[in-house]
Structure 1
């Protein structure tokens, strides 16, 4: 935009300068020509009264002139600069009329003078150099003035464009910072009134987003805290069971829910702008697979997979990655028959990692990829939990099995 404004001003300035300088240059050339012809005419008018006087006096006056002048006397002799009678001289003598004739050397001025002895003709020639004397210097001066005015116009246009584009650039930078979850970013109102209004609206939007996210965190934390009371009661109920195995199983489930509630509270309180999330994906996936392997053995499911033999850092919080993998494996157990094998694979990629969960069940219906839909009487948010942490989320497979792939970004 800055370049376009500068080019627009440059084009306008050039047109204005051309409209001013071209006529001025032509006028200066005409003025120089008229001045040279006028000086020559003044010289001739000085000599005309002396054309019929004493030849000695005439010769003295003619030779004293700054321009070459020739006087053709009636007897055929000449006084002044040597020259032959030209057609213009003969025509002026015959017609008894002053003439100005263009020649190859410039302009020829002839004036007849009628005397007692006959008609004399005063002649002078104004060369092209004299006709254009000073014109080139004047044109160069006008050209330099035009260039200076153009540069000045470009400088002013650039400054003006900068005052307009700088606030727009700042607004764009603030928008990108807000998009990157930097909720403290604010725009400084500057520039024209319209841009100031946009900056104010962007700041109001940022404040509104900040308040809404804070309110959402408070509601999530409050809901999580409310869940602690029934979880405590559930744990007490588990401890009162007479069957130790049943008591341990229920207590373990209650502890799992408690850990999930704690993770929700931490996630709600976490500031992603000051504490970027990251974790060792290998350790998290290995831990969750070990957790689900116990249930898989109880339901006769074969568990296979492949994990890296080294730590693999990804830009995802450990709680979020664990929740996403739990959601995917939970779908496997909820929507496939017992004894259905499944696999979990984690592989490194140049831009992060890819996590794949595959099973040999009936596969996903066509609507499963839609957010918030489910065919198992659930909320349908299991896949959405996994989708939120991935840069790309793909579902493939049909009746022969389902494959869910998540691309995890690097920190």
Structure 2
């Protein structure tokens, strides 16, 4: 932007200077020419009275005296053909001036100024003075040089001012950009320096206010998550006490395990809220996926579901944390149990992704989902089965955060649904 602003100012200043300097240069040349012609005309006119009244010898001495004092050679063409003063050809302009007219004519190397003097007994005499081209442009080159230097100085001053203006505008803009990137990266203590023009100061103050608001909202959200932990602690404790009162060891163990899972999930949510930014999360999908499949296999047996697994051997590193991947797998498998009748089988596949990462597929043999609803199911809060609609959104965000994606489609035989999750 700084370069573009400088180029814009340079172009504008250049156009203005050209519009100013070109007419001025032409005017200087015209003034120099008019000055030389006017000086020569005055010298010639001063001899008009002498030529009209004096004898030829007097005229000759007056012309010689005038030629010695001026740079413009003067010639008098007497009516009888005598040439007095500087040697000059009798041109067509001289013949025209001999009719009594005063004219100015251009020659090959200058300009001749002619005055017809009438009233002589022999006829009309012609006074001719000559101005060379060097006289017509005397001082013009020097004036143009000064004008050119002035133009360059003004152009340099304009560029300097453009650079200063660019610094005045871009330094605060650059600082605002850096602060916004720091805020986006999770540095909630980043604040912009309120400086520069009034508009930029207003933007800086608004950005600082936004940062304060974001920090307050996050703090309030973390407090709400912490409150949730306290609210759930009592029912979880009650659940554990009820489990201890059970006489069947298997039921007691199952309920205690579920209570521990709830407590662990709540603790993980609190930790995630208190530390929202985790640098380079990663885990081995070949460890997490089988562990979650084994967990859900117990419930599958109780609901008469056949669980088939095709799990590639590890390691299969993916760019998500083990907690996030476990939550995604729980959402995928939980949907199978929540949205298909008991006895419906399902298959879990884990393969290596060609460009790194892993591919997880969960296929069920349920009634399937209409094609018109497949694209809507990954929208947060949307559910076709009366649930919260957050499960597939959790899976989608986990996949996208790792550089992958999620796809829903109908099973090849037309019954059931296939959810494919790519993890980077």
TM range (shorter): 0.7 to 0.9
Tell me the residue number matched to 1:281: 285
CA contact (8 A) 2:113 2:128 kept: yes
Gaps of 5+ in 2: none
Q: Distance in 2 between matches of 1:185 and 1:37?
A: 75
Q: Distance in 2 between matches of 1:144 and 1:394?
A: 70
Choose 213-222 or 368-377, whichever is displaced more. Answer: 368-377
CA contact (8 A) 2:367 2:415 kept: yes
Q: Secondary structure at the match of 2:353?
A: strand
Q: Distance in 2 between matches of 1:281 and 1:350?
A: 15
Q: Distance in 2 between matches of 1:311 and 1:117?
A: 124
Match of 1:249 among 247, 254, 259: 254
Using the TM superposition, give the Cα deviation of residue 206 of structure 1 relative to its aligned residue in structure 2, in angstroms: 1.5
Q: Distance in 2 between matches of 1:175 and 1:242?
A: 60
Match of 1:401 among 407, 413, 416: 416
Gaps of 5+ in 1: none
Tell me the residue number matched to 2:20: 20
Q: Secondary structure at the match of 1:395?
A: strand
Q: Distance in 1 between matches of 2:222 and 2:133?
A: 91
Tell me the residue number matched to 2:388: 379
Q: Secondary structure at the match of 1:390?
A: helix
CA contact (8 A) 1:282 1:346 kept: no
Q: Distance in 2 between matches of 1:327 and 1:56?
A: 123
Tell me the residue number matched to 1:34: 34
Pick closer, same or farther for the CA change 1:88–1:377 going to 2, 3 Å.
closer
Q: How does 1:35-54 map to 2 (within 5 A)?
A: 35-45=35-45, 52=55, 53-54=57-58
Using the TM superposition, give the Cα deviation of residue 92 of structure 1 relative to its aligned residue in structure 2, in angstroms: 3.4
Using the TM superposition, give the Cα deviation of residue 281 of structure 1 relative to its aligned residue in structure 2, in angstroms: 2.9
Q: Secondary structure at the match of 1:175?
A: helix
Using the TM superposition, give the Cα deviation of residue 74 of structure 1 relative to its aligned residue in structure 2, in angstroms: 4.8
Choose 17-26 or 368-377, whichever is displaced more. Answer: 368-377
Q: Distance in 1 between matches of 2:189 and 2:359?
A: 33
TM-score (norm 1): 0.85
Tell me the residue number matched to 1:124: 129
Q: Distance in 2 between matches of 1:351 and 1:204?
A: 42
Tell me the residue number matched to 2:216: 211
Q: Secondary structure at the match of 2:268?
A: helix
Match of 1:177 among 173, 182, 206: 182
Matched, 1:331 2:335: yes
Pick closer, same or farther for the CA change 1:351–1:49 going to 2, 3 Å.
farther
Pick closer, same or farther for the CA change 1:56–1:88 going to 2, 3 Å.
closer
Pick closer, same or farther for the CA change 1:77–1:373 going to 2, 3 Å.
closer
Tell me the residue number matched to 1:90: 95
Q: Deviations over 1:23-60 (max 9, x none)?
A: 32222112111121133234435655665335774575
Matched, 1:390 2:399: yes
Pick closer, same or farther for the CA change 1:3–1:69 going to 2, 3 Å.
same
Q: Deviations over 1:232-274 (max 9, x none)?
A: 332233233222222222222222222222222222222406x
Root-mean-square deviation over aligned CA pairs? 3.1
Tell me the residue number matched to 2:297: 293
CA contact (8 A) 1:296 1:303 kept: no
Q: Distance in 2 between matches of 1:15 and 1:125?
A: 39
CA contact (8 A) 2:282 2:317 kept: no
CA contact (8 A) 1:280 1:318 kept: yes
Pick closer, same or farther for the CA change 1:246–1:82 going to 2, 3 Å.
same
Choose 115-124 or 249-258, whichever is displaced more. Answer: 115-124
Q: Distance in 2 between matches of 1:32 and 1:378?
A: 94
CA contact (8 A) 2:332 2:391 kept: yes
Matched, 1:304 2:319: no
Q: Distance in 1 between matches of 2:107 and 2:384?
A: 105
Q: Secondary structure at the match of 2:328?
A: helix
Pick closer, same or farther for the CA change 1:218–1:325 going to 2, 3 Å.
same
